[in-house]
Structure 1
Amino acid sequence: MTTTYTITGMSCNGCRTKVEKALNEIDGMEATVTLDPPVATIVSEKSIAIFKLQKAIYAAGNYIISESDASQENSLYSTPIPSEMKPVDLPQSASGKYYCPMFCEGDKVYDEQVGCPVCGMDLVKAPELMAAKTQYTCPMHPEMVQDQPGNCSICGMDLVAIQVAEEEDSAYLDLWRKMKISLIFTIPVFIISMLEMLHNNPLLELMETQKWNWVQFILALPVVFYAGWMFFVRAWKSILTWNLNMFTLIGIGTGVAFLFSVAGLLFPQFFPEEFKHHGTVSLYFEATVVILTLVLLGQLMEAKAHGQTNKAIKELLKLAPTQATLVKNGEDKVISIHDIKKGDVLRVKPGEKIPVDGKITEGESTIDESMISGEPIPVDKTIEDAVMAGTINGNKSFVMLAEKVGSETLLSQIVQMVNDASRSRAPIQKLADSIAKYFVPTVVGIAILTFIIWTNFGPEPAMVYGFINAVAVLIIACPCALGLATPMSVMVGVGKGAQSGVLIKNAEALENMNQVNVLITDKTGTITEGKPSVERVFSSNNEEDNVLQNIASLNQYSEHPLAQAVVNYAKTKNISLMEVKDFEAISGKGVIGTVANKKIVLGNKKLMEQVNASVSDDLESKIIAEQKLGKTVSYVSFDGIAVGFVSISDKIKTTSADAIKELIRQGVEVIMLTGDNENTAKSVAEQLHLTRFIANCLPEDKLNEIKRLQAEGKIVAMAGDGINDAPALAQANIGIAMGTGTDVAIESAKITLVKGDLQGIVKAKKLSQAVMKNIKQNLFFAFIYNVLGISVASGMLYPIFGLLLSPMIAAAAMSFSSVSVILNSLRLRSFKI
């Protein structure tokens, strides 16, 4: 038989080769993998469980295999994410380099702050995603510098860590320097201009108006040709590339005002009388410099906002310690965290931060995990318990084994995820982008039309009114607030989520979470603790120890939580394990193998039917009674005859009931899909007052149920934690992985809950609602400023109210619109989820 599967996660021919090799190592099949399309064609004599295929390719890398339909309409990935909604993923090598915040050139980066060659905007520095390596020096001999702590070779003093000052933002500093220059020259020009409006201008006692006009011209030069010159450069680039933006309007508006003023100063004889006041042409140097200064202020605030956005990443990096204590040959040695390798044994002392991810091998302690999970209550940890980098040890010492180091740690993955998500674009951004595309040409057209109408129908001096109002239209219509509306909210929201243990992969997930109306959830490890324990082993022949020895031996090669529970139970009974042959895991059903020359089968009723094992009525009734108590029961058969069962309980998480109640209150239908039996699933569903449940689910059943719900128009979120959940997580509108689950589940999901309980979903939904509300408020600010501003600036209200808008006030209003958006977005930082 020939079967076709879709493979996701392959990016190059090397990936294709690895996947093909991994699949061909499975006995009884031959696989051919192509990169475009990403498909695996498998030829085999019998059907091979997709779980087995997934396990094989997962060992080769973060690849996901799923069933592929013949038609694209029914394909698992038939609805691709539009490219404009995907995050632009900068490579890790881009850390510390500069990129355009508008991603005009995709993921291209620059070594220096040179300005975007397409739109002219200041480049933004990509944050460092790894903590800087610490160096050590002697307090008495600063020339002594080394990478490791130790003693000074000159005087013997302990070396101390060099405190590296936080790097200043060069773009912000450059703008601040220009801002100071601009203010120094703008204020005098503004004062001179305002005093000219007085009936008894005191300045005229010193010099005549024409000479003061020359003073304004000289003072305006540093503002135009130094502080604000970048705006004209950006405007020119935007016109050449036809990437019209806010700088197009600023450049045209202030450029026209400045050139008009220069011409009026040098060649007043060519201007009609209506442009003159007391014999001299009315000049607009003050409007030019004040507008440029206000726009510069807006740019300065944006640069500050970008710095605050990256602050979340910097704060996360600070969670990691700079050094650790390595235990080697019975001795403790202090080393840099950059020198820690997998398999190293580390000692963590009271009050210290845990350096890397791993597990405790000796001792116990209470650990504060609030900085990762968002939960304030410390967690008790003992031998074999996992610990995470960046969390803080309590008042006891313990020894741990380093299992994940560097970029593999959960903390590093959080940093990477926050960085990627903060650059991604929400679908609602498409609205702003579409408007902005036609906005600038429309505004230029309105400005020209304003000049024509005022010149022909306005009061005298008509041309002066027309000119001033046209410039005001160009200035106030600056779309920078429109461009900031969505990304500012997304950046702040993603950072807020990370601090609360909700990791959001991209802005699309953040927006779609607000629309979710169905939640599909697994049972084991999601609703329940995922730490099952054996309550009872029953044997029809009263040979419980023999049954336990056989099934524990069979389960020693399985990674399933239920299997581990059986093995751990056997250990407490001091039962030795035997060798297993022909072990096979049947996804969603159980395991099969040969122990002591007997074919042992452990699993659910479907597996018993598959292997044709006979089950007595008496045994069946006992199993049903256990299941009605909410226990998970696995049948045990020896050589085709069911001889007993093992009863396992998995405690429901204390947070599950409250979380499900809150989600239902918000109008979300909660459905539990579990591979467990009908009776056990019903018992759990009744305890939690679930809307609906489906028992005896295989991985493909979960996938098909999600497809069915989506076909009905539902927006589906799927919460899971295992490899077998990966296809369903990928198919769901929002895949939500438990942080306590497998890496492949987390890779398939769009949201990861660090703590791994359903309360995290409530947090994610609240955060999504808050961010979307914030974005809509920002867009309202941006639109209302432009609609009202253009109306007033063009003089539409003049016939009714006699109201006009000067270019300077227009520039102030334009800058205030951006400030409003920034301040409103930053409010999310104090939002409680």
Structure 2
Amino acid sequence: MTDRHHDGGDHAAHHHHDHHAHASAAAPEAVRDPVCGMMVDPGAGKPEATHAGRTFRFCCEGCRKKFEAAPEGYLTAKDPVCDMEVDRASARYMAKHEGTRFYFCSAGCQAKFEADPAGYLGNWPRPEPAAAPGSKWTCPMHPEVVSDGPADCPKCGMALEPMTPAAGDGGPNPERVDFTRRLLVSVACAVPLLLISMGSMLGLPFRAWLGERAAVFAEFLLATPVVVWAAAPFFRRALASLRNRSPNMWTLIGLGVGAAYGYSVLAAFLPGLFPASFRAGMAGMEASVPVYFEASAVIVALVFVGQILELRARERTGSAIRALLDLAPKTARRIGADGTEADVPLGEVRTGDRLRVPPGMSVPVDGAVIEGRSFVDESILTGESAPVAKGEGDRLTGGTLNGRGALVMRAEAVGADTVLARIVEMVGKAQRSRAPIQGLADRVAGVFVPAVAAVALLAFALWWALGPEPALAHGLVAAVSVLIIACPCALGLATPVSIMTATGRGAQAGVLIRDAEALERLASVDTLVVDKTGTLTEGQPRLVDVVPAEGGDGEAMLRLAAALERGSEHPLAAAIVAGAAGHGLQLPDATGVEAATGKGLAGTVEGRAVAIGNRAMLRDGGVEVAKALEAEAERLRGEGKTAMFVAVDGKAAGLLAVADPIKPSARDAIRALHAEGVRVVMATGDEPGTAAGVAKALGIDDVRAGLLPEGKLALVEELQGRGRRVAVAGDGVNDAPALAGAAVGIAMGTGADVAMESAGITLVKGDLAGIARARRLAKATIRNVRQNLFFAFVYNAVGVPVAAGVLYPVFGWLLSPMLAAAAMSLSSVSVIANALRLRTLDLREAPPTQGR
């Protein structure tokens, strides 16, 4: 970074003069929103605010409110290249890096930064995650900790995360970015450390080449930045655990790393404290006390690997809420009292405003139709693909998608009062209600940590009081050996290594795993709640039955009905048209087509009056329907099909039945889940008759139909209240709250992104049979994690007493810190080797003779 300090002199002086010139030059043109960095046209009627005699302009009301709440934080920013203070509102040069905006005094600084951003951010303050306005912050490990702004958790020291992230791409988790940087520094120092300390084992005697004293000093120089800078977050969390009397894995890591480094510093610079028996030397070299700087550096690097794996999984928690927030448009077209129209930011829409919703656009807020007719896709609420007809007086929900018709609506619920905002709140609340997995490691560490500390202190005291001379040195060696052998490298790796391996194995089988918690919970699930459309069924309606009236011609009826439906945007109409094409029929043109809301269509085809719809459609047209045809329609509905009557020239011509076909794998999947003792419940927004038909065909245990998102979440809470361990499988936005609220959510990879972000498990192919595979993988993985933890604790249980010196009175053995570090490494090797066995796990269904 020679460039940086070179620029700080004449470079800074040069730009100090130009700084205000930039502001004045930019003022008559576009200015920069000081909050979000967007360029704003001064003449566009955008929101404004005045502070300290200056006028600032903003892209939207949200930015203006943020500025007015804390203006001092948005006035200036530091140029990361030359350290100059840059006025944010007049800055011409800005760049985003890893989700954070950086401002520059000149194009030269911006170019240097973009060429080597990491080089200029070595000591830059850690960026904060993007949060929605008004969001509170909480700890992933301790959800009961809530703060009004970003901070560290008082219990464990972890960085708090926003309960409601900002819409859009929030960038990577800043803590993961910070930890990755620290990991790279740790690895860069640990590799030469290992070569110096253990290179002779590889035929590279660096220690002999350098000389013992020079080698020890080089190790000290390499280990110090790792322990003092890279491991600083670990020590901060360890201290927090001690202050709050909640010992955990961080306590062990802090003690272990601190002990290894502290012991090594004493051994390097005060070797006279140690007994001669611990002095070792190579031929022709001065004997010295062994140092373990490499152990402290490697411990830190290994723990960072585990932490980054965990953070990658945690990073996606807010993605579900961001995806939901992105469903709402950013602007709305407001109609003024004089009839003029203007696009305004969504935050400026007020109750009672008249809004135009053009074809193909999302509905901005909740309200009612006052002009126009159209079909609206409400699948984010119901999960059903069929659009709903909307006319004057009908309700509209923000985030739903308008079809081909233009609508004018009156806003009745805005901001936090909209249905979409309530769904966002439900997803966030459900996510926070599940405390992230503490893991067996932390549960045992609550007892293990104070026990290890007590053993180390006891060993030191006993050796000092009763041991041979030099008693103080023997006591120090014993205490350090205890702390080093108990340092939880294997504990830190036990879960992430198994999860990493299981994630790769699951991906091969079409099962994407979000985190260890999802696997742990899935292994013990006894109830599965499934959505119908897109989960049990294909999600694409098809024409399945053509039933002509007695003496009628089915193909002729289908040809006329399809001609009438060809101009409709409804998926059922598309299914009929596609069915006619499948029969090889050429469709004539239809004229005078009119839609009867909630009933059907009527028009003229080749001079004949044709109507298609429900029984009410024919009744309004005075068409009589034979009892046999009505009975056939009832039978088709009982099979989960949508039956539509067709009338030609005032007479009933027959029935067309459309259905969403059941997925071929669904029956076998339900049978496999039943064989494993899992109860299956269908929860759908569809009507009861269709849902019951699908459930009967699949042998599903229970059916709940006509459910909105809050109804599905209420069902999950009801089942959990009865003591059931519930998993939810779904594919739509309407499933997101239930997916987040269940013990584990399972999303179909063919469904909505929001469903996948809310779920702990995603099935790539949308194949329900993947749930059984995922459950087998979950059981094997959790078993593997427990084996890993057993290995880790066995080494500690055996090694700690030996390190304390229990064998010395009988055999004269006192474990040196070198052997303690070797035992600690061996436990990590055992954990990794055991986890790799998951790569060859067979996920096929086990034979019935093996039991379930």
TM-score range, shorter chain: 0.5 to 0.7
1:291 — aligned with what? 292
- Verify: 1:179 aligned to 2:194, yes or no: yes
Quote the Cα distance in structure 2 between the aligned partners of 1:606 and 1:700: 31
User: Which secondary structure state, in structure 2, belongs to the residue aligned with residue 570 of structure 1?
Assistant: helix
Q: Does 1:496 align with 2:505?
A: yes
Q: Which of 770, 785, 795 is residue 785 of structure 1 equivalent to?
A: 795
What amino acid does structure 1 have at the position aligned with 2:670? I
How far 1:476 moved relative to its partner?
A: 1.0
Displacement of 1:731 in angstroms is: 4.6
Residues 775-807 of structure 1 deviation map (CA, whole Å, 9 limit, x = unaligned): 222222333333332222223465677764222
Distance 2:840 2:435 in 1: 22
Alignment of 1:74-473 (within 5 A): 83-84=140-141, 123-124=182-183, 172=187, 175-184=190-199, 216-226=212-222, 230-231=226-227, 242=239, 244=251, 246=253, 248-256=255-263, 258-259=265-266, 262-265=269-272, 289=290, 291-294=292-295, 296=297, 427-429=436-438, 432-433=441-442, 443-458=452-467, 462-473=471-482
Q: Is the 8 A contact 1:706 1:732 kept in 2?
A: yes
Would the alpha carbon gap of residues 621 and 731 (structure 1) be closer, same or farther in structure 2, given more than 3 Å must change? farther
* Counterpart pick for 1:739 among 722, 741, 749: 749
- Unaligned segments of structure 1, at least 5 residues: 1-11, 15-32, 36-79, 87-101, 126-169, 194-213, 266-270, 313-424
Matches within 5 A, 1:16-27: none
* Bigger Cα displacement from structure 2, 650-659 vs 483-492: 650-659
**Residue equivalent to 1:203:** none
> The residue matched to 1:515 in structure 2 has which SS?
coil
1:443 Cα deviation after fit: 4.2
1:659 to 650, 669, 678: 669
1: CA distance, partners of 2:450 / 2:306: 29
Distance in 2 between residues matched to 1:580 and 1:34, nearest whole Å: 48
2:840 alignment counterpart? 830
**Matches of 2:518 and 2:621, distance apart in 1:** 43
Structure 1 residue 720 and structure 2 residue 730: aligned? Answer: yes
Alpha-carbon distance change, 109 to 255 in structure 1, aligned in 2, over 3 angstroms: farther
* Paired positions, count: 549
Question: What is the SS of the residue equivalent to 2:270?
Answer: helix
- Correspondent of 1:764 among 771, 774, 777: 774
Q: 1:123 and 1:594, CA in 2 relative to 1: closer, same or farther beyond 3 A?
A: farther
Q: Work out the CA distance in 2 between the residues paired with 1:255 and 1:651.
A: 68
Question: After the TM superposition, which of the residue ranges 669-678 and 448-457 deviates more from structure 2?
Answer: 669-678
CA distance in structure 2 between the aligned counterparts of 1:792 and 1:111, rounded to whole angstroms: 42
Identify the match of residue 821 of structure 1 among 827, 831, 849: 831
Q: What is the identity, as a one-letter code, of the residue corresponding to 1:222?
A: A
1:415 aligns with none
SS at match of 1:812: helix
Q: Paired residue for 1:574?
A: 586
* Partner Cα separation in structure 2 for residue 511 and residue 596 of structure 1: 61
Tell me if the contact between 1:518 and 1:670 (Cα under 8 Å) persists in the aligned partners. yes
Deviations 1:329-351 (A, max 9, x none): xxxxxxxxxxxxxxxxxxxxxxx
Kindly indicate whether the alpha-carbon contact (under 8 Å) linking 2:646 and 2:656 is maintained by their aligned counterparts in 1: no
Residue 733 of structure 1: how far off its partner (Å): 3.7
Q: How does 1:46-85 map to 2 (within 5 A)?
A: 83-84=140-141
Name the SS for the 1:736 alignment partner.
Answer: strand
Alignment gaps of 5+ in structure 2: 1-34, 38-60, 64-136, 144-156, 162-169, 241-250, 314-433, 844-852
How many angstroms does 1:469 deviate by? 1.1
Residue number among 782, 786, 799 corresponding to 1:776 in the alignment = 786
**Equivalent residues of 1:631, 1:647 under 8 A apart:** no
User: In the TM superposition, what whole-angstrom CA distance separates every residue of 1:315-367 from its partner, at most 9, and x where no partner exists?
Assistant: xxxxxxxxxxxxxxxxxxxxxxxxxxxxxxxxxxxxxxxxxxxxxxxxxxxxx
Equivalent in the alignment of 1:155: none
Partner of 1:65: none
* Paired residue type of 1:179: L
Distance, in Å, in 2 between the alignment partners of 1:641 and 1:800 is 105
* Equivalent residues in 2 for 1:740-755, closer than 5 Å: 740-755=750-765
| Counterpart in the other structure of 1:811 | 821
Structure 1 match to 2:370: none
2:437 touches 2:516 (CA, 8 Å); kept in 1?
Answer: no
Paired residues of 1:480 and 1:818 also in contact (CA < 8 A): yes
SS at match of 1:84: coil
3-state DSSP of counterpart to 1:717: strand
Structure-to-structure mapping, 1:526-675, within 5 angstroms: 526-530=535-539, 532-538=541-547, 540=549, 542=552, 545=556, 549-550=560-561, 553-554=564-565, 557-558=568-569, 560=571, 562-571=572-581, 572-576=584-588, 578=590, 592=600, 595=603, 602=613, 617-626=627-636, 630=639, 632-636=641-645, 644-648=654-658, 652-673=662-683
Q: Which residue is 2:66 aligned to?
A: none
- The residue type paired with residue 806 of structure 1 is S
**Cα deviation digits, residues 441-473 of structure 1 (max 9, x gap):** 764454233211222234565444323211211
CA contact (8 A) 1:554 1:592 kept: no
The answer to whether the 8 Å contact 2:189/2:223 transfers is no
Q: What is the distance in 1 between the residues matched to 2:620 and 2:436?
A: 47
What is the DSSP-based 3-state SS (H/G/I as helix, E as strand, rest coil) of the residue aligned with 2:766?
Answer: coil
The residue type equivalent to 1:249 in the other structure is G
Q: CA RMSD in A?
A: 5.6
C-alpha offsets along residues 277-327 of structure 1, whole Å, 9 cap, x if unaligned? 5xx996899896463345556667778999999999xxxxxxxxxxxxxxx
Q: Would you say the 8 A contact 1:295–1:811 is kept in 2?
A: no
Cα distance between partner residues in 1 of 2:600 and 2:714? 27
**Partner residue, 1:510:** 519
Contact 2:264 2:293 in 1 (8 A): no
The answer (yes or no) to whether the contact 2:267–2:291 under 8 Å persists in 1 is no
Aligned partner letter, 1:83: P
8 A Cα contact 2:756 2:762, kept in partner: yes
Structure 1 pair 784–578 and aligned structure 2 pair: CA distance change class (3 A): farther
| Residue type of the alignment partner of 1:123 | R
Query: Which deviates further from its counterpart, 673-682 or 176-185?
Result: 673-682
Contact 1:579-1:595 within 8 A present in 2 as well:
yes
- Cα deviation for residue 671 of structure 1 reads 2.9
Q: 2: CA distance between counterparts of 1:248 and 1:521?
A: 48
Cα distance in 2 for partners of 1:579, 1:287 equals 101
Could you say what secondary structure the match of 1:83 adopts?
A: coil
Q: Distance in 1 between matches of 2:601 and 2:739?
A: 30
CA distance in structure 2 between the aligned counterparts of 1:579 and 1:798, rounded to whole angstroms: 102
SS in 1 for 2:218: helix
Separation in 1 of the partners of 2:308 and 2:523? 28
Task: Give the superposition deviation at 1:684.
Answer: 5.2
Distance 2:757 2:479 in 1: 53
In 2, the alpha carbon distance for the partners of 1:311 and 1:190 equals 39
C-alpha contact 1:182 1:222 (8 A) present in aligned 2: no
Which secondary structure does the structure 2 equivalent of 1:123 belong to?
helix
Cα gap change, 1:660 to 1:112, in 2 (>3 Å): closer
1:813 shift after superposition: 0.9
Kindly indicate whether the alpha-carbon contact (under 8 Å) linking 2:799 and 2:820 is maintained by their aligned counterparts in 1.
yes
CA distance in 1, matches of 2:753, 2:822: 51
